[in-house]
Amino acid sequence: MNFLTTFAETAEANQDIFTALGIDLRLLILQIVAFLILVWLLGKYVYPWLMKSVDERQKNIEEAAKAAKHAQESAEQSEAATAELLAQARKEAAEIVSTAKLEATEMVTSSEAKAKAVAEKIVADAHAQTQKDIDKARRELHDETLALISLTTEKVVRSTHDKKADEAMIADMLKGAQ
Amino acid sequence: MARKLSRRDLAKYASHQLAEGVSLETVARHLAAYLIESRRTNELNIIVRDVADELTATGRVAGTVTSAHQLSSATLKEIEQFVQAKTGAAHLSLDPIVDESVLGGIKLELPGLEMDTTIARTLTILKTRYKKA
């Protein structure tokens, strides 16, 4: 500070064009030096940090923009994929419904055929059983008739076939056997 | 203990005794005693049949005739003639049996020969042969 004061007093002694112009040369030089120091200080310590911060900020902004763009693209892709999936799902659902209807129709048809076959079998079995019962009844009637004829014949023979008739029959039999 | 006689030997012995005129009762007693002693009573039916076969082989036929009524001597004689003609037996002995269940006709039972012409058998044939069940 003393130096600056001394310099100012020396310059005051030398009256020149700067003085005539109202410019204090010493003060000007001092201001230039101060300015240069300030510039140097700023360039040394402030600007690098500031530029770094700005660069980082810019980088972050660019990354954010890129991410946003990417997200937008992803969202658009997702939306397209979703739309495609939705369309596919609708198509598959329609196919499933169509297939289900077809299968239901086939099942109904098959069930009807099975029911018809079962009904026909039941009717055929009933006919066969009825025929069997009829045959059995006929056989039983035939056998009972035979038994009745035999029993009747036995009773008639017992009452009518006396000793004389028996001996005549034996004699005929012996003649026939010879 | 005496050796075990075969059925064939026993039959030959009994038939020989009968052919020689030994009474049937005596022969039956001897045979029964031997079978009881040798514990062979369960063979009695077979031995009796063997004796009948032996007698038949020697021309002596014994059998039974079953009828529903008592047969007259004439009918019995006709039957004996029929049997002699069929078997060629020199000596024939028929034992008449009355069984009302045969209804009519006769049933002849001889060694190796059986002839059933009874009405009961005819009715049985009617019931069984034409039975459907």
Contact B71 A150 (CB under 8 A): no
Contact B99, B68 (CB under 8 A): yes
Q: What is the mean pLDDT of chain A?
A: 89
> Of the given ranges (A15-29, B39-53, B104-118), which has the lowest mean pLDDT?
A15-29
- For B116, the enclosing helix (H) or strand (E) is strand B113-116
Contact A134, B72 (CB under 8 A): no
For A32-59, what is each residue's pLDDT tens digit? Answer: 999 999 999 999 999 999 999 999 999 9
The domain of A74 spans: 2-177
Q: Compute the Cα dihedral for A74, A78, A81, A83 and give only its sign.
A: negative
Mean pLDDT of A139-155: 89
Confidence check: pLDDT of A69 > 90? yes
Q: How buried is residue B89: exposed, middle or buried, by Cβ count under 10 Å (0-12/13-18/19+)?
A: buried
Mean pLDDT of A1-15: 57
Beta-sheet strand order (sheet of B106-110): B91-98, B60-67, B106-110, B113-116
| Separation CA A65–CA A58 (nearest Å) | 10
| Separation CA A30–CA A24 (nearest Å) | 10
Closest CA to A157 of A145, A148, A167, A165: A165
Q: What is the per-residue pLDDT for A89?
A: 95
Contact B103 A161 (CB under 8 A): yes
Contact A169 B103 (CB under 8 A): no
Q: Which of B67, B69, B82 sits opposite A177 (nearest CB)?
A: B82
Contact A143, B131 (CB under 8 A): yes
- Please list, residue by residue across A24-36, b when 16 or more beta carbons sit within 10 angstroms of its beta carbon and e when fewer do: ebbeeebeeeeee
- Indicate the pLDDT class of residue A131, thresholds 50, 70 and 90: very high
Q: What is the per-residue pLDDT for B93?
A: 85
Q: What is the per-residue pLDDT for A34?
A: 95
Q: Is the pTM of this model over 0.80?
A: no
Confidence check: pLDDT of B65 > 60? yes
| Separation CA B109–CA B116 (nearest Å) | 8
Domain positions in chain B:
1-58, 60-133
* Continuous H helices in chain B: 7-19, 24-37, 44-57, 73-87, 119-129
Residues of B in contact with A139 (CB under 8 A): 132-133
* DSSP-assigned letter for residue B113: E
- Indicate the pLDDT class of residue A174, thresholds 50, 70 and 90: confident
ipTM above 0.85, yes or no: no
The tokens describing A3, both together, are 């130096």
Indicate the number of domains in chain A: 1
Contact B96, B65 (CB under 8 A): yes
Mean pLDDT of B43-70: 88
- Please list, residue by residue across B79-88, b when 16 or more beta carbons sit within 10 angstroms of its beta carbon and e when fewer do: bbebbeeebe
Mean pLDDT of A157-166: 88
Q: What is the per-residue pLDDT for A133?
A: 96
Q: Compute the Cα dihedral for A26, A28, A30, A36 and give only its sign.
A: negative
CA distance B127 to chain A (A): 6
Q: Which of B75, B120, B131 sits opposite A143 (nearest CB)?
A: B131
| Separation CA A119–CA A127 (nearest Å) | 12
Q: What is the per-residue pLDDT for A92?
A: 95
CA distance A176 to chain B (A): 11
Residues of A in contact with B73 (CB under 8 A): none
Confidence check: pLDDT of A103 > 80? yes
CB-based contacts of B46, cutoff 8 Å, min separation 6: B7
For B75-89, what is each residue's pLDDT tens digit? Answer: 999 999 988 888 888
- For A153, the enclosing helix (H) or strand (E) is helix A47-160
State which amino acid sits at residue B18. Answer: L
